[in-house]
Amino acid sequence: MLEMPEAPTPPRDPNPADSGDAARLHLLEQQLAALFDVSSVLSRSLELRETLRQVLRTLHDRGRVCSGMVSLLDPDTGDLLVAALHHDDISPFEKIRYRPGEGVIGQVLENNEPCVLQRLGDEPRFLDRLGLFDADLPFIGVPVRIGQDDIAGVYALQPPEVDALLPQRARFAEMVANLIGQAVRLSRSVEDERRALREERDTLRRQVKGSHGFDNIIGHTERMRLVFEQVRQVAKWNTTVLLRGESGTGKELIASAIHYNSPRNGGPFVKLNCAALPDNLLESELFGHEKGAFTGAQAQRKGRFEQADGGTIFLDEIGEISPAFQAKLLRVLQEGEFERVGGGRTLKVDVRIIAATNRNLEQEVRDGMFREDLYYRLNVMPILMPALRERVEDIPELARFLVAKLAKRQGRELSITDSALAVLMRHHWPGNVRELENCMERAAVMSEGGIIDRDVLNLTGLDVGSLPEVLLAATPTAGPSPAADIDLDAPDVDERERVIAALEQAGWVQAKAARLLGMTPRQIAYRIQTMKIRVKQF
């Protein structure tokens, strides 16, 4: 008996619901992968516009969108400016803008709500300013938000095809817009911080330049005017400068003024006292070292020359370095090249050299203690700083400046009398301005009432007992002033005392005092101003 074969099972009709579910599942998988790609792109860079272009290009290349555009809000005008397209050949798109309510894009901005169109060509409000979008495809525009209500822009796109999944595609567009909003917020935050840092940097630069400007270097004598003129001229160029003079004459202040008034003022100003370190540490400090170069070298370290690249290095007490180290330093000054300690790679830097010394380098060269070639390499532009005893006329202004600085530091009123200034002007000051500064600080500490006079100076240890009583013009007294008895023609009377004595003898009438001194009223008025003489009022 023959068995009849079973009839083949007829093909099952596809269920439209099952087909739709599969399409939605496939789209969901694509969108999850797309969100991962978008988040990866957004995390790569803080350059917002380029990042947005990469996001749009990534979505387009993977077939998830046909056309895409991101417009960001201009906070100054309130308009939308096109920030990114995935088409690089459409330019200049940066000038395209939409006002709130203008066209479909402007409607999304104004309403802060998504806009979904089944077919773009059916919407009469659409403004095709870029020729980017296809009129036969759907269109989705969603707001780019920062927070709940703060709108930052609009993300507009077209799906690659017409299908029944437009709501899901619109939801995906909102997710992408949220990621873009986070990137915009981060970019704005970073830009605000950068702007604040730039403003703070510029403010600090102005303050530093102001505090190291020529106006803050006190001196009206002929010697100091020569120094100022030399500093003004040499600051313009990269010439090596050698500051010479006794300790405490303000060489570091002059070095700062040269740097901060030079074209290199935006670069670093690095200082090093060469007398403070032995040769082995000095080499590491100036040139740096590699990891493991010596015991304790746990990591690579940049030296002062590398730190000063593009700026200025100030080498104080240059005359104290040994002849052995002088040869190593000479190469850097000549070629701008050196190697770190323990390293074999030659490094090149662009550094301006300012050196300072209180030694007689010419005698050191003759004695063989200082290399002649290094001396000539350093001594390109020498500037000689005068000792304080060589510019006595500057002492009153210096003392008042130091007292004002101390008053600010101590948070109280401080003043110094003319009688105290007279004492200071007759002191020898072997320690120069540094000694004067220390004296003023001691006087400020010992002055309970905030007035520094002869008695307070006596408490500081300054020998005032043997100094003659002159120049008591600070405060009016009942009896005649000793300054009125000074012989105006005496050769041992300095100019300031002579001017005050003439004013006392003339009853503080400037025209009469000028006749006593053989001056014009204008000349004596100039001296009163420059010598900081306080005029008595009767």
- The rounded radius of gyration (Å) of the Cα atoms in the chain is 40
> Token pair 């609009």 is at which residue?
154
Chain segment 226-269, per-residue pLDDT in tens:
999 999 999 999 999 999 999 999 999 999 999 988 999 889 99
Q: How confident is the model at residue 17 (pLDDT cuts 50, 70, 90)?
A: low
CB atoms within 10 A of CB 244: 19
pLDDT at residue 44 is higher than 60: yes
CB atoms within 10 A of CB 158: 22
pLDDT at residue 337 is higher than 50: yes
Name the class of domain 214-386: alpha beta
The pLDDT score that the predictor gives to residue 43 is 75
The pLDDT score that the predictor gives to residue 469 is 39
The pLDDT score that the predictor gives to residue 89 is 61
The backbone torsions φ and ψ at residue 222, rounded to the nearest 5 degrees and listed phi first, read -60, -40
Q: Using CA atoms, how far apart are residues 14 and 482, in angstroms rounded to an integer?
A: 123
The pLDDT score that the predictor gives to residue 270 is 94
Give the residue, 53 or 384, on which the prediction is more confident.
384
Task: State the sign of the Cα–Cα–Cα–Cα dihedral 26, 32, 35, 39.
Answer: negative
pLDDT at residue 95 is higher than 70: yes
From the number of C-beta atoms within 10 Å of its C-beta (0-12, 13-18, 19+), residue 289 rates as buried
Q: How confident is the model at residue 96 (pLDDT cuts 50, 70, 90)?
A: confident
Any idea which fold 390-530 has?
Answer: Helicase, Ruva Protein; domain 3 (1.10.8)
Q: Which of 92-101, 408-417, 441-450 has the lowest mean pLDDT?
A: 92-101
Give the residue, 373 or 523, on which the prediction is more confident.
373
The pLDDT score that the predictor gives to residue 490 is 73
**Long-range pairs for 508-511: beta carbons < 8 A, 24 or more residues apart:** 508/535, 508/536, 508/538
Mean pLDDT of 342-358: 89
Mean pLDDT of 59-70: 77
Chain segment 368-412, per-residue pLDDT in tens:
999 999 999 999 999 999 999 889 889 999 999 999 999 999 999
* CATH 3.40.50.300 domain span(s) along the chain: 214-386
C-alpha distances out from residue 372 to 15, 287, 313, 362, Å: 100, 23, 22, 9
* CATH 1.10.8.60 domain span(s) along the chain: 390-530
Give the 3-state DSSP-derived string for 370-391, with helices as H, strands as E and coil as C.
CCHHHHHHHCCEEEECCCHHHC
- Count Cα atoms within 13 angstroms, Cβ side, for 410: 21
> Token pair 């700062």 is at which residue?
256
User: Burial code of 112-127, b = ≥16 C-beta within 10 A, e = fewer?
Assistant: eebbebeebeeeeebe
Mean pLDDT of 459-483: 48
Q: Find residue 288's DSSP bridge partners.
A: 302
Give the residue, 521 or 241, on which the prediction is more confident.
241
* CATH 3.30.450.40 domain span(s) along the chain: 23-190
Give the residue, 494 or 142, on which the prediction is more confident.
142
CA-based nearest residue to 334, from 348, 317, 345, 320: 348
Mean pLDDT of the chain: 82
Mean pLDDT of 124-139: 86
The pLDDT score that the predictor gives to residue 538 is 47
Give the residue, 479 or 120, on which the prediction is more confident.
120
Q: How confident is the model at residue 91 (pLDDT cuts 50, 70, 90)?
A: low
State percent of the chain over pLDDT 90.
27
Helices (H), strands (E): how many in the chain? 18, 17
Give the residue, 270 or 149, on which the prediction is more confident.
270
Which residues, including other chains, have CB under 8 Å from residue 305's CB and lie 6 or more apart? 286, 287, 288, 313, 332, 338, 349, 351
Q: Which of 32-41, 323-332, 442-451 has the lowest mean pLDDT?
A: 32-41
The yes or no reply on domain 23-190 and CATH 3.30.450.40 is yes
pLDDT at residue 46 is higher than 80: no
Mean pLDDT of 80-105: 79
Q: How confident is the model at residue 220 (pLDDT cuts 50, 70, 90)?
A: confident
Mean pLDDT of 442-468: 79
Q: How confident is the model at residue 20 (pLDDT cuts 50, 70, 90)?
A: low
pLDDT at residue 11 is higher than 90: no
Task: State the sign of the Cα–Cα–Cα–Cα dihedral 464, 466, 472, 475.
Answer: positive
Please say whether the beta carbons of 535 and 499 come within 8 A. Answer: no
Give the residue, 415 or 38, on which the prediction is more confident.
415
Q: How confident is the model at residue 485 (pLDDT cuts 50, 70, 90)?
A: low
CB atoms within 10 A of CB 331: 12
Which helix H or strand E contains 124, and what residues bound it?
A: none
The pLDDT score that the predictor gives to residue 311 is 94
Report cis status (omega within 30 of 0) of the bond before 100. no
Q: How confident is the model at residue 475 (pLDDT cuts 50, 70, 90)?
A: very low
The pLDDT score that the predictor gives to residue 479 is 40
pTM assigned to the model:
0.58
